Structure 1
Amino acid sequence: MKLFIVLIISFFFSVSYSKSLMIGTSGDNPPFSSFADSHNNFSGFEIDIMMEVCSRLHAQCQFQPIVVSAVLKLFAEKKIDLVIAAIIEPPANSPEVADFVFSTPYLPSSAQFLVRTDSNIQTLQNIRYKAVGVRLGSLFNGILFKYFLLSLYNQQLNVTTYLEMCDVIDALQSKAVQAVFSNTEAIHYWYMMNKDQFRLVGDPFPIGNGYTIMGNRGNEQLITQINQA
Structure 2
Amino acid sequence: MNSIKRWLNRLVLLAFILSHNACFAGAPQQVVIGTISYNPPFELMTNEQYSGFEIEIMREVCLRVRMSCKFQTVLFHQIPEFLNENKIDLGLAALIITPAREENFLFSTPYKVSNLQFMTLANSTIKSVDKLQNKTIGAYKDSPSTELIHKILQNKVTIKTYETSMDMLSALDNQEVKAIITNPEQATYWVANSDRYQLVGQKYPFGDGYGMMATKKQTDLIEKINHALTDMENDGTLLKIYNEWL
Other-structure match for 1:74: 82
1:173-218 superposed Cα distances (whole Å, 9 cap, x missing partner): 1011111111111111111111x21111111101101000011111
Name the SS of the counterpart of 1:148 in structure 2. helix
Other-structure match for 1:84: 92
Q: Give the structure-2-normalised TM-score.
A: 0.78
The answer on whether the counterparts of 1:135 and 1:168 sit within 8 Å (CA) in structure 2 is yes
How big is the shift at 1:112?
A: 0.6
Q: Structure 2: where are the runs of 5+ without partners?
A: 1-21, 229-246
Other-structure match for 1:131: 136
> Relative to structure 1, is the Cα distance of residues 70 and 135 closer, same or farther in structure 2, using a 3 angstrom cutoff?
closer
The answer on whether the counterparts of 1:25 and 1:84 sit within 8 Å (CA) in structure 2 is yes
Query: Post-superposition, which runs of at least 4 consecutive aligned residues in structure 1 deviate over 4 A?
Result: 12-17
Other-structure match for 1:3: none
> Relative to structure 1, is the Cα distance of residues 207 and 72 closer, same or farther in structure 2, using a 3 angstrom cutoff?
closer
The CA distance in 2 between the partners of 1:78 and 1:86, in whole Å, is 20
> Relative to structure 1, is the Cα distance of residues 130 and 223 closer, same or farther in structure 2, using a 3 angstrom cutoff?
same
Q: Given the alignment of the two structures, is residue 28 of structure 1 paired with residue 33 of structure 2, yes or no?
A: no
Q: Given the alignment of the two structures, is residue 145 of structure 1 paired with residue 145 of structure 2, yes or no?
A: yes
Other-structure match for 2:8: none
Q: Given the alignment of the two structures, is residue 156 of structure 1 paired with residue 164 of structure 2, yes or no?
A: no
The answer on whether the counterparts of 1:16 and 1:58 sit within 8 Å (CA) in structure 2 is no
Paired AA for residue 219 in structure 2: E
Paired AA for residue 42 in structure 2: F
Other-structure match for 1:9: none
Other-structure match for 1:47: 55
Name the SS of the counterpart of 1:215 in structure 2. strand
How big is the shift at 1:73?
A: 4.7
Other-structure match for 1:209: 208
The CA distance in 1 between the partners of 2:209 and 2:65, in whole Å, is 22
Q: Given the alignment of the two structures, is residue 63 of structure 1 paired with residue 75 of structure 2, yes or no?
A: no
Q: Give the structure-1-normalised TM-score.
A: 0.83
Other-structure match for 1:176: 176
Paired AA for residue 40 in structure 2: P
The CA distance in 1 between the partners of 2:127 and 2:110, in whole Å, is 33
Q: Given the alignment of the two structures, is residue 100 of structure 1 paired with residue 105 of structure 2, yes or no?
A: yes
Paired-residue identity, %: 33
> Relative to structure 1, is the Cα distance of residues 113 and 13 closer, same or farther in structure 2, using a 3 angstrom cutoff?
farther
> Relative to structure 1, is the Cα distance of residues 73 and 198 closer, same or farther in structure 2, using a 3 angstrom cutoff?
closer
The CA distance in 2 between the partners of 1:72 and 1:157, in whole Å, is 27
The CA distance in 1 between the partners of 2:70 and 2:137, in whole Å, is 35
Other-structure match for 1:222: 221
1:2-30 superposed Cα distances (whole Å, 9 cap, x missing partner): xxxxxxxxxx9996562221111111211
> Relative to structure 1, is the Cα distance of residues 82 and 207 closer, same or farther in structure 2, using a 3 angstrom cutoff?
same
> Relative to structure 1, is the Cα distance of residues 68 and 198 closer, same or farther in structure 2, using a 3 angstrom cutoff?
closer
Give the structure with the larger helix fraction.
Answer: 2
Other-structure match for 2:189: 189
How big is the shift at 1:75?
A: 3.1
1:125-180 superposed Cα distances (whole Å, 9 cap, x missing partner): 211111111122xxx5x2x2112111111111111111111111101110111111
1:60-95 superposed Cα distances (whole Å, 9 cap, x missing partner): 21100113454355334533211111111121xx2x
> Relative to structure 1, is the Cα distance of residues 71 and 125 closer, same or farther in structure 2, using a 3 angstrom cutoff?
closer
Greater gyration radius: 2
The CA distance in 1 between the partners of 2:79 and 2:178, in whole Å, is 31
The answer on whether the counterparts of 1:101 and 1:223 sit within 8 Å (CA) in structure 2 is yes
Name the SS of the counterpart of 1:122 in structure 2. coil
Other-structure match for 2:6: none
The answer on whether the counterparts of 2:76 and 2:164 sit within 8 Å (CA) in structure 1 is no
Q: Structure 1: where are the runs of 5+ without partners?
A: 1-11
